[in-house]
């Protein structure tokens, strides 16, 4: 990422706080010490959402095959520091586990998970959840088809409504991906 893009992101992030200050009722003036309690809370919410977004994007990067070294380099930290800070799961590559009526496919990432979803759907496995490098299914007597949509968390309700109109059922989200399913019409 170049310096201009970095500056634009910083400007946009700062504008969130300025918009809050200007639009709150009464507007934030900085003239009363008590107002700073709300300003601190608002800044904390912005920072907390930033931390959550960072975790989500690191998870998405891992699912798409980016190495811990690459992630560490992007953050200016070591591979080990990136793993310690962001690793959520010790999933093996492209492995399966059967847990009762559940099938857990490990090693799923942005570049192979649609293939995995297609295979599992044809085998009658219904997606019930998605997480870091894994997809979780339950065995059924039906074939399934799946869609993965990309969007911000705040867009999820609108996306769900749109997909529901097209006959899709929401499964789960693992930012930035949202997963939908429906019974296959061909079986």
Looking at the fold, whether 81 and 100 belong to one and the same domain comes out as no
Verify that 110 and 50 share a domain, yes or no.
no
Which residue from 53, 24, 50, 51 is spatially nearest to 37, judged by alpha carbons?
Answer: 24
With a pLDDT cut of 90, the percent of the chain lying above it is 38
The pTM of the full predicted model, rounded to 2 decimals, is 0.53
| pLDDT beyond 90 at 124 | yes
Mean pLDDT of the chain: 86
Q: Are 146 and 167 in contact (CB under 8 A)?
A: no
Given a cut of 50, is residue 160 above it in pLDDT?
A: yes
Domains contained in the chain, number: 2
* Same domain for 164 and 137: yes
For residue 78, the 8-state DSSP code is -
| Amino acid 98: pLDDT | 55
Instruction: Note whether 45 and 109 are same-domain residues.
Output: no
Q: Are residues 44 and 108 in the same domain?
A: no
Q: How many CA atoms lie within 13 A of 25 on its CB side?
A: 0
Whole-angstrom Cα Rg for the chain: 21
Q: Are 80 and 135 in a shared domain?
A: no
In the chain, which residue ranges form alpha helices assigned H by DSSP?
A: 3-23, 35-63, 68-75, 79-86, 113-122, 156-165
Cis before 7? omega within 30? no
Condensed to tens digits (0 to 9), the pLDDT of residues 61-115 reads 887 889 999 999 999 999 988 888 888 654 434 445 555 578 898 888 888 899 9
Q: pLDDT, tens digit, for every residue of 2-25?
A: 999 999 999 998 889 889 988 999
| CB 139 within 8 Å of CB 105 | no
């Amino acid at each position: 990422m170049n310096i201009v893009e970095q500056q634009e992101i910083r400007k946009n992030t700062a504008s969130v706080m300025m918009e809050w200050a200007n639009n709150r009722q009464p507007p934030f003036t900085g003239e009363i010490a008590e107002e700073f309690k709300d300003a601190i809370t608002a800044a904390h919410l912005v920072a907390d959402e930033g931390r959550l977004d960072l975790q989500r994007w690191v998870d998405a990067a891992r699912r798409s095959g980016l190495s811990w070294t690459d992630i560490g380099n992007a953050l200016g930290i070591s591979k080990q520091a990136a793993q310690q800070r962001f690793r959520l799961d010790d999933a093996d590559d492209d492995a399966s586990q059967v847990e009762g009526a559940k099938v857990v496919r490990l090693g799923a990432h942005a570049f192979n998970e649609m293939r995995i979803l297609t295979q599992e759907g044809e085998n009658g496995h219904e997606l019930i959840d998605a997480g870091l490098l894994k997809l979780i299914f339950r065995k059924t007597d039906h074939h399934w088809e799946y869609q993965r949509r990309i969007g911000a968390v705040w867009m999820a309700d609108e996306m769900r409504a749109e997909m529901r109109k097209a006959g899709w059922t929401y499964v789960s989200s693992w930012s930035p991906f949202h997963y939908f399913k429906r019974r296959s019409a061909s079986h």
